[in-house]
Each structure stands twice: as C-alpha cells, then as structure tokens.
Structure 1
Amino acid sequence: MSPPTLSQNVLPRVTTPCIGVCSTALGDSVCRGCKRFSHEVIDWISYTEDQKRVIDRRLDDFLAQVVKNKLQVVDAGLLEWQLQAQQIRYKPHKCPEIWAFALLKAGAAQISDPADFGLAIDAQYRDVPLPQLRDMIDREFYILSEAHYERYMKVVV
C-alpha cells in the first residue's frame, strides 16, 4: 500500500513563517516580519503540527482578509501560471490571496498590469503604486495581528 498523497487530504508539514526579519528580539509582542506572537516565535520548534497549523491558519486568514480588502483574484489559474512562469515561490495549498501577496512581495515594481496576473485592484487603490499597495497590505496585516494579540493574548497585570 502506498503512502497517502496531498490529493488524499493529507496536509503538508507546516513550515516556519519566519522571513528573517524578527522584531521580537527588539521587544515587540508581534513580529513585524512573520506576524507571529513573540511566544510563538520562541516556542515554534516545540509545537506539534496541529499547533503550528492553528497559527498558520490564523496568519493566512488575517493576510487573506487584508488582501481581499485591496484587490480581487479574478483568475486564480492565471495567477498560479504566472507564479510558476516567473519562478516565484508560493504554496499551492494556500488560497489565491496568499499567492497574490507572494507575487507582490516578489515583484510588485515589475508589474505594469495586474490583470496580466489574474488580479483586479479595487477602485480606491488603482492609483496606488503596487509596491506601496504591498506595503499597505503588510502594515495592515501587522496591525490586525497586533490587535488580535492585544485583545486575546496580552496579560494585563
């Protein structure tokens, strides 16, 4: 009997969301790089796959929410094809909004027409340069993570 494959609903291992820009060492409660809470950064290697998956899902949900507030993925197949053609690292098992952010992180300044990548920018952001839009998304992602930490994790003495 062969081992199960992804198509049989076995999820891939959760890799660290660390992007090498950790601000928790500087005293931040939420990392400005990966948006995890400081205790999650510290304890990551001791977490089970299920615990890591919960954190990963929260981060994905927050990022997808912020992305959806700025743009729509109108053609996920085209976006995925472009990511592959441009050799941009992305995680196929994640939602297309996460792919869109991977695209913006990798090359926002090189994109002249988002429609060529299956994206439609919301009307209020169409005049915003894509590198600036990428930075807005990243900042709002951080703010959302920080608000979640303040509301649900912070211990008030």
Structure 2
Amino acid sequence: MAGRIASPCVGLCSTTVGDRVCRGCQRIDDEIRDWPALAGEERERRMAELDALRERVAGRHLRVVDPAALEAQLRRHRIRFRADQPALSRAVELLRVGRGRIHDLSRYGLMPREPLDASALYACLAAELMAAAEARHVTLLNHHHS
C-alpha cells in the first residue's frame, strides 16, 4: 500500500497516559507501536477484528436504522471514517465525538435498544468496549506466549 498507512486511530490515545489498552481505538500499546511495520493484510485483519468488536458491543445497545443518515452526519461533523467501516463501528465514533450535542439519535440514523440519551449510551459502550478490548489483550498475550 503506497501513501498513507490506514489505521484505526481516532486521535484519542490513552496509552500516552499509561493505559495498556487505548480507550479511543481499543488497540493494545504494543499493537499501536508496531502498527506501521505490519503488512497491509495484517493491518486489514486487525482493523476487521476491531470493527467486529465494536459491532458486537454496540449491537447490544444500538441499531443503525438509516446508514445513509449516519454517513451524512459523520460527513457534516467531519468525523473520520473508512469506506469499508461497518455502520455500528461508525456509530461508536459518532457517539464518542458528538455525545454531548446529540439530542435526537433518530436524526443520525440510530435507534437505541434501551431508553438512553447519547451520553449515557456512549458511557455504556465505552465501558463495554474497554472490557472487551482488555479481554482481547489477554487473548493476544496468551496467543503470543503459547
């Protein structure tokens, strides 16, 4: 791949403050450090794993009912996303950035599965994403040591 290296980074790296797993992209610190050296296929596989993690967690709390509206809002608010990024993974980013300003989730193509506002919904997602990312980290460590 020539040019810019694709990355799940969202510009909110909590590993710089000592977290082992980044609260922004859910990668472990070693994975962030080693990212530029990974082959393109490996980066794509890991990005797909991170998207699947976000889809699994977000899908428990949220449905995307209008992917076009979600994409339009992401563009409107200049929130970075990838063309191949699943809608639920995109929704996590929208909520991360706009949770304090979103009052009607339906205008963003989203429908929560429980009666939560955007901030409360994101708080649930963030906590569950961190727990799932920590579990992924343990799995990766066990895999490397076996």
Bucket of the pairwise TM-score, normalised by the shorter protein: 0.7 to 0.9
1:109-120 correspondence runs (5 A): 109-120=100-111
Matched, 1:67 2:55: no
Q: Could you say if the C-alpha distance between residues 87 and 36 of structure 1 is closer, same or farther in structure 2, counting changes exceeding 3 Å?
A: closer
Q: Could you say if the C-alpha distance between residues 129 and 32 of structure 1 is closer, same or farther in structure 2, counting changes exceeding 3 Å?
A: same
Match of 1:40 in 2: 31
Q: What's the CA shift string for 1:60-98, capped at 9, x where partnerless? A: 110111111111001111211222233333223211112
Matched, 1:144 2:132: yes
What number of residue pairs does the alignment pair up?
142
Q: Which has the larger radius of gyration?
A: 1
Matched, 1:52 2:35: no
- How far, CA to CA, are the matches of 2:31 and 2:71 in structure 1? 30
For structure 1, the 5+ residue unaligned runs are 1-12
Q: Could you say if the C-alpha distance between residues 122 and 15 of structure 1 is closer, same or farther in structure 2, counting changes exceeding 3 Å?
A: same
Q: What's the CA shift string for 1:92-121, capped at 9, x where partnerless? A: 321111221121122112111111111111
- How far, CA to CA, are the matches of 1:69 and 1:16 in structure 2? 25
Whichever residue aligns with residue 77 of structure 1, its letter is A
- How far, CA to CA, are the matches of 2:74 and 2:129 in structure 1? 22
Q: Could you say if the C-alpha distance between residues 113 and 53 of structure 1 is closer, same or farther in structure 2, counting changes exceeding 3 Å?
A: same
For structure 2, the 5+ residue unaligned runs are none
* Shift in Å, 1:143: 0.8
Q: Could you say if the C-alpha distance between residues 52 and 121 of structure 1 is closer, same or farther in structure 2, counting changes exceeding 3 Å?
A: same
